Structure 1
Amino acid sequence: MSEENNESKKANQDLPLGLKVLITGFVGGLFWGIIWYVAYFFNFTDVGPNLLWKAWTLGSWSEEATGQWIAISLLAILSIGVAFFYRYVFAKITSMWAGVGFGALLWVIIFYISNPLFIGLDSVPDLSGITIVSTLSLFVCYGLFIGYSISYEYEMEKYTGT
């Protein structure tokens, strides 16, 4: 059993940082997209992952569960780009607060700056308090996941030389 653990650790260390960033981005987008859908399903937020579709006038499918799951899949793919952005801009910052701030910045970009692009999305002052708190919390947790994971792998690569 110990030999298997050593082989597993060795295999993980052999992965290049770029692949680790890709996996982190995909898994982060998928996991936090699903959590966002659960929060939407249980009415913790009025805005679900299908927010992506609100930039276009699409059929009613975009409001249904199918639209939510397709949006989650797209979020996982888009999250890869977000993870690489974080890797090249913020990876050297080892504090967890960098990830928290990154998630909050993403929330501001989507809910404040990009708000006019999303048809039917109320402006932030018009959103319910629970929607603001829930979505901001989700984005902060997502940013923390992406940021801390990538910064950790970046530091491990720097110190181990893999």
Structure 2
Amino acid sequence: MPHALETRLAELGLSLPDAPAPAANYVPWIISGNQVFVSGQISQNDAGLIRGKLGGDISTEQGAEAASHCALSLLAQLRAALDGDLSRLVRLVKLTGFVNCTPDFTDQPKVINGASDLMVELLGDAGRHARSAVGAPSLPFGVAVEIEAIFEIS
């Protein structure tokens, strides 16, 4: 029987990608007690990396879409950490989002809303979370967004 998250993904016409492999010397997730700490997931989709600089060559709306792809990768990493058993997910605790942007760009929260809104849409109240949205002068591989997460599990 599918978990409610998988059912909700299907209803929205979405699916989780395979958990992306780390790009350097780190692990994609760590379980400590009843929490899963997921390393930063960069913006990418089936076509590849979503690159660009907010306030420059991509719009706030495109950045929010990039952030939603980060959210799907975060959930894919969580699924891997839980050996596929998403029924162990209790709640999303925190997102920390980094936005590749120009110095005068100030809509980082609107960009990271792409991930936050999707998490609430998928998880309901369990998707409501604490959050930071930070601007950065550059991100790995020139991607538009990188987001890390902390989840509570049973």
TM-score greater than 0.5 by the shorter chain: no
Q: Which has the larger radius of gyration?
A: 1
Query: Normalising by structure 2, what TM-score?
Result: 0.30
Query: Normalising by structure 1, what TM-score?
Result: 0.29
Q: Which has the higher strand share?
A: 2
Q: Which has the higher helix share?
A: 1
